[in-house]
């Protein structure tokens, strides 16, 4: 089935019980063969270890960027939430779609409406779509975090600026009037976290 690029590096732990069972079964089989025929068992054990090392040596010897590898799980939500927290003022609101609720907590911002998330299928439900439309029409959120494109409300983001971090779009949208009213201290803090304006 489809796997998000890079996801295998931190979701692989789900396979650990199955991998352990595989190792156990192979070890028991080699042990049984070793009892019956020591030469065959030894050759089989060396063969299994050799094949394993051959197919995994690419990953062991590959040069990796440790900082990039460790930047996983909740790091993205922390960075996005921290940027919003730096820019926020008392009455500001946040809208997250489809779902990364930790951004609300990190940013310490209230949701823009009773809809704290918005999945793509919700765009096809008139009542839910109307709730979001009203939110963006009557009191547009100060910040929008769109962690998955295709939820259906991208059309409302014309008056927003998408932030860039480390040269990549992070899909944290800031209402233009808010972004251009930031003071120097806020801009410096954003720069400290490697955020910049997407021109």
- Supply the pLDDT for residue 175: 92
Question: Which SS3 state, helix, strand or coil, does residue 93 take?
Answer: strand
Q: Do 55 and 47 form a contact (C-beta atoms < 8 A)? A: no
C-alpha–C-alpha distance, residues 78 and 84, integer Å: 10
- Supply the pLDDT for residue 15: 76
pLDDT in tens, 116-154: 888 888 888 899 889 888 888 888 999 999 887 767 677
């Amino acid at each position: 089935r489809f796997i998000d690029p890079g996801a295998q590096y931190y979701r692989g732990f789900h396979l650990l019980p199955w991998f352990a069972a595989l190792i156990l079964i192979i070890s028991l089989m080699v042990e049984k063969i070793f009892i019956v025929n020591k030469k065959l068992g030894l050759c089989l054990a060396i063969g299994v270890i050799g094949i394993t090392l051959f197919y995994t040596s690419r990953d062991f010897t590959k040069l990796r960027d440790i900082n990039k590898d460790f930047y996983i799980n909740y790091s993205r939500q922390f960075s996005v939430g921290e940027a919003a927290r730096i820019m926020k003022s008392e009455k500001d609101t946040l809208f997250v779609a489809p779902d990364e609720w930790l951004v609300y907590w990190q940013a310490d911002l209230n949701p823009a409406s009773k809809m704290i998330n918005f999945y793509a299928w919700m765009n096809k439900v008139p009542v839910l779509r109307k709730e979001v439309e009203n939110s963006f029409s009557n009191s547009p959120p100060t910040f929008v975090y769109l962690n998955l494109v295709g939820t259906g409300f991208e059309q409302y983001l014309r008056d927003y600026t998408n932030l860039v971090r480390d040269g990549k779009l992070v899909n944290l949208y800031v209402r233009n009037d808010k972004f251009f009213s930031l003071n120097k201290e806020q801009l410096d803090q954003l720069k400290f976290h490697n955020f910049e304006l997407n021109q």
